[in-house]
Structure 1
Amino acid sequence: MKYKQNRKIEQINESTLIIGADIAEHKHIARAVDFRGIELGKTLAFSQSQSGFSQLLFWIKSLMKQHSKQHVLFGIEPTGHYWLSLAEFLKKHVQVDHG
């Protein structure tokens, strides 16, 4: 168990963009930080829709380019069932590591 946890922690480094999303029924909020916890850019409010998810993807790609990040770690708190459609969208549009 500790080996797997340590392996995950070691994946976070200077080239990692860390995104955390607060999931709700209609609007989600995402925040981006670097490996030290320093916020990168403004928070993003996006809707529970394909256009909202596309807005999120554009925001992520822009932050990656702006801050020279090669990897994304995306965290979602699974609130009710509202997170499922976002998770499916992310699986289709970004590289997902379930490790």
Structure 2
Amino acid sequence: MKNSTARKLRPIPTGYLMVGIDPHQKKHAAAAMTQDAVVCTKFKFANSRQGYEVALERVRAEMIKASCRGVIFAIETGGHYWRNLAYFLEDRGIPFRLISQFTLRRRRDGKDINRRKNDFRDAEMAAELLRTSDFTETRLPQGVYAELRSAHSAYFRLGKERTRITNLLRGLLDSLFLEFTQIFKDPCGQTARTVLSICPTPGVIAHMREDEFVNTIRREHQGRLMRKKLRALHRLAQGSIG
């Protein structure tokens, strides 16, 4: 454990200003801290190239003011908003370390009895974790590997989001139209979505003749129409408990 801590601290020279970052969609929060745990300044900057440039100017000014020899960033890795800033810093040759959101949360909850949570508090805690060497060794993927990893992460997130939406829709249908999923196993399918957008309740379907219902869906639907399922759904709607 001591060897691991010493190995992590070695790349951080003495006299460096440590800047903790709490990333967000529109604005990142930053807190600059010296190696003797004195917080020099706190500020926010836009999540854009111009915002990053403004932040660097602010940090350089604070570095000179605090008589520091250099600067190193500590970026919390919650969500995905940290990536653009990390690649920006890497392109500029500015050192940074990644701080696990779980490590930060445990440290924050352990030290803050009031359980207060704000952006600057997390940014300050990120700098503190860098100071105590509780960070992740930084190695950003590059080239084709970076693109592949990004695409896989996006695919995984979209899959989780689709599952969440499907489960939410199933829950709503259980109270509004219980028999719907007996016919359409996937309520997010093309025909199913067309039906729900036009006839969201069994009462609407039941007040229509079978052919009228099928023709109504056909006019609004694009692609292959599952007529047998539509007719079966119409029959179930007549005696639905929804």
- What secondary structure, in the 3-state scheme, does the structure 1 residue paired with 2:54 have? helix
Using the aligned pairs only, state the percent identity. 30
Displacement, 1:55? 0.8
Shift of 1:3: 1.8
Residue ranges of structure 2 left out of the alignment (5+ in a row): 97-137, 140-242
Supply the distance in 1 between the matched residues of 2:94 and 2:4 (Cα, whole angstroms): 20
Contact 2:28 2:45 in 1 (8 A): yes
SS of the residue corresponding to residue 84 of structure 2 reads helix
1:52 lines up with 2:68 in the alignment: no
User: What's the CA shift for 1:12?
Assistant: 5.3
How far is 1:78 from its partner?
A: 0.9
Instruction: Select the structure that is richer in strand.
Output: 1
**Letter of the structure 2 residue corresponding to residue 64 of structure 1:** M
Greater share of helix: 2
C-alpha offsets along residues 27-69 of structure 1, whole Å, 9 cap, x if unaligned? Answer: 11000011121111x3110011011100111011111111111
Query: What is the TM-score with the length of structure 1 in the denominator?
Result: 0.83
Greater length-normalized contact order (CA 8 Å, ≥ 6 residues apart): 1
Over aligned residue pairs, what C-alpha RMSD do you find?
2.1
Amino acid at match of 1:28: H
What secondary structure does 1:72 align onto? strand
Aligned to 2:75: 76
Partner of 1:29: 29
CA contact (8 A) 2:72 2:94 kept: no
What is the alpha-carbon distance in structure 1 between the residues aligned to residue 93 and residue 63 of structure 2?
13
Instruction: Say how many residue pairs are matched.
Output: 97
Q: Check conservation: 2:72, 2:95, Cα contact below 8 A.
A: no
Find the structure with the greater CA-based Rg. 2
